[in-house]
Amino acid sequence: MTALIDLVNITKYYGRFRALDDVSLQIHSGITGLLGPNGAGKTTLIKVLLGLVRTTSGHGRLLDFELGHQNREIRAHVGYMPEDDCYLHGMTGVECVQFVAQLSRFPAVEALRRAHEILDFCGLAQERYRTVETYSTGMRQKLRFAQAIVHDPPVLILDEPTSGLDPEERQVMLNRILVLARDHGKAVLLCTHILPDVQSISDAVVILARGRIQVADTMVELNRPTTPSVEVRLMGDSDRFVETIRGRGIAANLQSNGGILLQGIPDHLATHVWQAASACGVGVRSLTPSRNSLEEIFLSAVREGGSRD
């Protein structure tokens, strides 16, 4: 599968500060979460993709366009939702969206039609006729999202799209992103600090730390534990169950969350679990193949990035 974004050995210095260090990365269609602590280089990476800063070395491609050489074409094909709460003073929501659509080369009437259509999709109803200064955080977030997608770009770069939203609004925003990715075939680069957002909708994850790529893989691969295991939850005496299962030569650890982690191939373990539970007189509440948590992956990647320096 051809990568939509392909970066090769990208390095970027601001003066003597190295913001990106030999970044090579391929991003395919679907939703890719871009994670990293503050100062990791996420914003610089986005600016490189948008041609807002020049790279010190390395080269790359976005769709069929060379980074740094075909910025105009790249910008026509990318929708960017910046993190900053920036809006155009004195304009109504619909005028703001129409204006940026016009800047994306749509005639005024078509730009207005698109603005209304996108604001409907984003859930800005009658508020669209109010000046943007009067908008709440959630409304501004929707407006920024609408401005990013009004020109129907195949690639979306969303910087903190759910920050400042209440849980319900956050879920609605994530659903919108999912709809765009799944139903409209958009490639989405989702830059956020909210790990559950990435965990819930991303197909792949990239973790940056200190300007370097620490992790770049699909969610399926990242979730797969290094040694196969299952997590068992019981109703009854867990200690006796652990002793029984260990007696069968299976490594078992009681976890702080009350679950029991058993190492081994899930299909093979299931029979032992049912037999041991029956022998101990406990009920099995759940038996699920265990997964790596994104938080653990993130923390370990960031620690690794820090320790290399």
Partner 1 sequence: MIGNVGAVFLFEWKRSLTLPRMAWWLVLAGFPVFIVGLIRFGVDSAHPNAETDRAPRELWIGFLFALIPMLISMLGTMLWVTPAISAELERRSWVYLTVRPNGGVAVLLGKYMAAVTWVIPPALIGLLAGIILCRVSNGWQIWWALATMVCLSTPAYAAIYLFLGTVMPRRGMVLAVGYSLLFELVIGFVPALINKLTVHHHLQALLLLWCEMDIPPEFMQGAVALMGNTPEWEHLAFLLMYPPVLLTAAVAVLRASEFSSSAESDV
Q: State the residues that interact with partner 1 by CB under 8 A.
A: 14, 17, 19, 38-44, 47, 50, 52-54, 72-73, 75-76, 78, 80, 82, 84-91, 95, 99-100, 102-105, 107-108, 147, 211
Contacts of 40 (CB under 8 A, 6+ apart): 208, 209, 210, 211, 305
- Please give the full DSSP string across 38-57, using - where no structure is assigned: TTSSHHHHHHHHHTSS--SE
Q: Whole-number minimum distance, CB 67 to partner 1, in Å?
A: 14
Closest CB to partner 1 among residues 63, 242:
63
- E strands, 143-228, are 155-159, 187-191, 204-209, 212-218
Closest CB to partner 1 among residues 80, 241:
80
Q: Which residues are 234's β-sheet partners?
A: 284
Kindly state the tokens that stand for 67.
């980074």
80's enclosing H/E stretch is strand 78-81
Closest CB to partner 1 among residues 42, 61:
42
Closest CB to partner 1 among residues 140, 291:
140
Q: Whole-number minimum distance, CB 5 to partner 1, in Å?
A: 16
Q: Whole-number minimum distance, CB 89 to partner 1, in Å?
A: 7
Q: Which residues are 212's β-sheet partners?
A: 209
Q: Whole-number minimum distance, CB 27 to partner 1, in Å?
A: 18
* Phi/psi of residue 282, nearest 5 degrees: -115, 155
Closest CB to partner 1 among residues 101, 201:
101
Q: Whole-number minimum distance, CB 29 to partner 1, in Å?
A: 21
Q: Whole-number minimum distance, CB 113 to partner 1, in Å?
A: 15
- E strands, 133-251, are 155-159, 187-191, 204-209, 212-218, 229-235
Closest CB to partner 1 among residues 17, 256:
17
Closest CA to 276 of 265, 260, 255: 260
